A and B are shown apart, each in its own frame.
Chain A
Amino acid sequence: MIEIALAGNPNTGKTSLFNILTNSYEYVGNWSGVTVEKKVGMLNNKKGHLIDLPGIYSLNPLSRDEGVATRFLIEENFSMVLNIVDASQLERNLYLTIQLLEYGKPVVIGLNMVDVAKGRGIMVNEKKLSEKLQSPVLPIVARTGSGCKELAGLLTNEEQKNKPLYISYGQPLEQAMETLAAKMHGVENLPPKRWLALQFFEGNEVVHGLLKTMIPEAELQRIFTETEALVQSKEGAKSLSYHIRAIRAQYIKGVLDVSLQKGEEVTYTLTDRIDNIVTNKFLGIPIFILFMYLIFKLTFDWLGSPISDMLDAFLTGPLTDGLTSMLQAAGASAFIKAVILDGIVAGVGGVLVFVPQIMILFFLISFIEDSGYMARIAMVMDKTLESIGLNGKAFIPMIIGFGCNVPGIMAARTIEQPKERLLTIILTPLMSCSARLSVYSLFVGAFFTQNQALVVLSLYLLGIVIALTLAKIFSSTILKEESSMFVIELPPYRIPQWRTLMRNTWEKGKGFIKKAGTFIFGGSVIIWFLSYAGPGGLGVDMNKSFLALIGGVLAPLFEPIGFGSWQAGAALITGFLAKEVVVSTMNIIYVAPDLHTLQGIMANHFTSLSAYSFMAFLLLYVPCLATVAVIKKETGSAKWTWFSIIYALLIAYIVSLIIYQGGKLLGF
């Protein structure tokens, strides 16, 4: 089976193409750094694997996601590179192409975004380009799929062989490359030696690491300094990397001279106009908050709640009735009936009711992601975030975290500064994810019917404010900064494609439904059983069940923050598995036939104030199991993983205490 690496600059449409060629549903968005890990897919003709990689500008990585891509290209075995270049930014894109061609593996070039280029008056002559680069070039539009079939045909052509592209870098450097190449031995399957030497002189850290396994570090250092001095004196270059860049730029210029026609300069007028508003001096941040408010209005009042109500009516009405009569007919025992109706239907159904709201939220987040707004909001937030020891890019993981914290934490890979990245990872769990939304839905429906959207918005803002405050505290104590940096690409706005939106929404929402079918299903059975059994045997009064015992241990602790009942304690313990399990547990514990009855029963156990305190606690208290696992994976440190659990617990308690006791003082 052949392996084809998909490489190119960030945000050039690699994943869009990958989805078409492998029939996948990977994550597409209009900013740089959407893909942060490699994804493998099977080509539609089943003849090979296509490997989607994070975007890179050169083979010398600066951030973690870039490291994933360069490591793959340097260390792994693959038979061909599919290089995607953005036709509207050809000069910059070819810089990577040159390095790939120098590598010597067969390269097929997908000239993407020809529609954008055309709109800006840029015409690329692909025949001339192909001649110049000695590789096939095919114009495509990955967004619509045009040209992609033809491109796929080229990929499994095993005839294609490329000779490494040869550009002369001048006598002194060529000499040094030869000397260095002669010293490389003892490691199998090396990339071409000249290429390695060139990359080393350019300052590539990954290659440097590889060479260290063959040549002593001191010698490498010596060769580097000597060569640099030589190139500086003989070629008058500022440094080796500048020299190499200048020669490549010259080469690219030669290529473009014959293959590129620039028409009249057309600037993005639409982008300009939208930017005038969303990054406006005074309106930038208020507009962001307004957007959030509209999102919650849509999810709760206007669209989400009515649909959820309909689903609830179906689940608790026809479905439950149907199941009951089926069980009756099958002669099921009372125990089985209770497991199914009071355990599974209550637990799983209780969560499924919120699927419409969650889907709407995911849809709106996908819209933001694919529009180009993401990079703008990062820029608008940069000044604020800089003052607390982060940079604007940290806001992107946080917004993604509103959908689900797990991909949010992964998205922190694009943050170049290691400390800023770590800080972002441990604070992203404070962003209120969609699973928590189901709990809020339950509570606001019971206690804040008038102001549902506003109350939920306040919780989201609470999460953000606490994250920012903690960022300030952590960055000025345990995570002191060396130097902060912020450079962000601002892509042109694009009207999101319906297909992309649906796919992205489905991909995200699917996880939620899957969890309901597996995790929450199993959890509900266990929770129900714990509420059914007790030291006194089976079918005990629920207040004497194991669940009540376990929850009761925590109850006194929660007394000062407003919800000292065993029910609340039990729900919060189970919420560590996944936050929406709290909803399942409450459905089981309060034995409610439907959402509205449950909300009615809850009114006996909570006041509005303690309900708000409960929601704040749930927002902050611990990252869920899946999030903890990804924190461990991304930080590679047990210490920081524990830290993110413990600080969250402490903060949650303090905040809820302030809300509850403060609220009581104020007379709520």
Chain B
Amino acid sequence: MVLTDIKAGGKAKITNTEHVNVLVRRRLLDLGIMEGTEVSIKRILPFGGPFAVEAGGQWVGIRRSEAKLIQVSHP
């Protein structure tokens, strides 16, 4: 399962971020989002726009194409 399979308002636990672009992964790591982090999807913008996810009280916007590469499992 990947992050984009989760609906707005849903929660998931990240299991793998290896396929994500290195720079993006670095940034997510900086923001405390990595394997094992529990995230919830806050908003999904239209027309293939970004996802806003929340982890530990921190909201982050990422592209849908990147979110597709983040593997997750049910929390």
Q: Which residue numbers of A lie inside 8 Å of B, CB to CB?
A: 57-58, 62, 88-89, 91-92, 95, 120, 245, 267, 271-272, 275, 279, 281-282, 284, 375, 378-380, 382-383, 386, 392, 416-417, 483, 485-492
Residues of B within 8 A of A88 (CB): 57
State the Cβ distance, B69 to closest chain A Cβ, in Å: 13
The one of B31, B46, B59, B61 in contact with A92, judged by C-beta atoms closer than 8 angstroms, is B31
**Distance of A281 Cα from B48 Cα, bound (Å):** 11
Chain B residue with Cβ nearest A93: B32
Residues of A within 8 A of B32 (CB): 89, 91-92, 95
**Distance of A62 Cα from B22 Cα, bound (Å):** 11
- A382 near B49 with CB under 8 A, answer yes
Residues of B within 8 A of A272 (CB): 42
Residues of A within 8 A of B43 (CB): 275, 279
**Distance of A380 Cα from B63 Cα, bound (Å):** 11
- A279 near B45 with CB under 8 A, answer yes
- A485 near B31 with CB under 8 A, answer no
Q: A378-B61, A483-B23, A489-B58 are in contact. List 15 more A-B contacts (CB 8 A).
A: A89-B56, A91-B56, A120-B57, A272-B42, A275-B42, A281-B46, A379-B52, A379-B61, A382-B49, A382-B50, A416-B23, A487-B66, A488-B60, A489-B31, A491-B59
**Distance of A325 Cα from B68 Cα, bound (Å):** 75
Confirm or deny: B29 has a beta carbon within 8 angstroms of a beta carbon on chain A.
Answer: yes
- B23 near A62 with CB under 8 A, answer yes
State the Cβ distance, A203 to closest chain B Cβ, in Å: 9
Chain B residue with Cβ nearest A92: B32
State the Cβ distance, B40 to closest chain A Cβ, in Å: 9
State the Cβ distance, B9 to closest chain A Cβ, in Å: 10
- B58 near A487 with CB under 8 A, answer no
State the Cβ distance, A489 to closest chain B Cβ, in Å: 6
**Distance of A485 Cα from B63 Cα, bound (Å):** 8
Main secondary structure of the interface of B (DSSP, over half): mixed
Within 8 A of A (CB), among B9-42: 21, 23-24, 26-32, 42
- A245 near B62 with CB under 8 A, answer no
**Distance of A491 Cα from B49 Cα, bound (Å):** 19
**Distance of A581 Cα from B60 Cα, bound (Å):** 43
A-B contact pairs, 22 of them (CB 8 A): A62-B30, A89-B57, A89-B58, A245-B29, A267-B54, A272-B42, A275-B42, A275-B52, A279-B43, A279-B52, A382-B49, A382-B63, A483-B23, A485-B23, A486-B61, A486-B63, A487-B27, A487-B28, A488-B61, A489-B58, A490-B52, A491-B59
The one of B46, B59, B63 in contact with A490, judged by C-beta atoms closer than 8 angstroms, is B59
Q: Are A282 and B24 also in contact (CB < 8 A) when A58-B30, A379-B61, A489-B58 are? A: no
**Distance of A217 Cα from B42 Cα, bound (Å):** 45
Chain B residue with Cβ nearest A378: B61
The one of B23, B45, B48 in contact with A380, judged by C-beta atoms closer than 8 angstroms, is B45
- A92 near B56 with CB under 8 A, answer yes
Residues of A within 8 A of B42 (CB): 272, 275
The one of A57, A486, A490 in contact with B30, judged by C-beta atoms closer than 8 angstroms, is A57
State the Cβ distance, B54 to closest chain A Cβ, in Å: 8
How many residues of chain B have a CB within 8 Å of chain A? 29
Residues of A within 8 A of B57 (CB): 88-89, 120, 267
State the Cβ distance, A642 to closest chain B Cβ, in Å: 30
State the Cβ distance, B31 to closest chain A Cβ, in Å: 7
**Distance of A184 Cα from B21 Cα, bound (Å):** 34
Q: Are A383 and B60 also in contact (CB < 8 A) when A62-B27, A92-B31 are? A: no
Residues of B within 8 A of A62 (CB): 23, 26-27, 30
Residues of A within 8 A of B58 (CB): 89, 92, 489
- A375 near B50 with CB under 8 A, answer no
- A383 near B48 with CB under 8 A, answer yes
Q: Are A382 and B61 also in contact (CB < 8 A) when A92-B31, A487-B27 are? A: yes
**Distance of A109 Cα from B50 Cα, bound (Å):** 35
The one of B21, B61, B62 in contact with A375, judged by C-beta atoms closer than 8 angstroms, is B61
State the Cβ distance, B23 to closest chain A Cβ, in Å: 5
Residues of A within 8 A of B52 (CB): 275, 279, 379, 490
**Distance of A375 Cα from B50 Cα, bound (Å):** 12
State the Cβ distance, B21 to closest chain A Cβ, in Å: 6
* Residue of B23, B47, B56, B66 most packed against chain A (CB within 10 A): B23
State the Cβ distance, B33 to closest chain A Cβ, in Å: 9
- A383 near B49 with CB under 8 A, answer yes
* Residue of B28, B30, B52, B54 most packed against chain A (CB within 10 A): B30
- B56 near A487 with CB under 8 A, answer no
State the Cβ distance, A201 to closest chain B Cβ, in Å: 16
Chain A residue with Cβ nearest B53: A490
State the Cβ distance, A90 to closest chain B Cβ, in Å: 10
Q: Are A489 and B56 also in contact (CB < 8 A) when A57-B31, A275-B43 are? A: no
Residues of A within 8 A of B61 (CB): 375, 378-379, 382, 392, 486-490
**Distance of A616 Cα from B27 Cα, bound (Å):** 40
**Distance of A380 Cα from B52 Cα, bound (Å):** 11
The one of B21, B23, B27, B63 in contact with A386, judged by C-beta atoms closer than 8 angstroms, is B63
**Distance of A30 Cα from B57 Cα, bound (Å):** 16
**Distance of A122 Cα from B49 Cα, bound (Å):** 33
Residues of B within 8 A of A485 (CB): 21, 23-24, 27
State the Cβ distance, A638 to closest chain B Cβ, in Å: 29
**Distance of A279 Cα from B58 Cα, bound (Å):** 17
State the Cβ distance, A103 to closest chain B Cβ, in Å: 18
Residues of A within 8 A of B30 (CB): 57-58, 62, 92
**Distance of A579 Cα from B35 Cα, bound (Å):** 52
**Distance of A91 Cα from B34 Cα, bound (Å):** 13
State the Cβ distance, B72 to closest chain A Cβ, in Å: 17
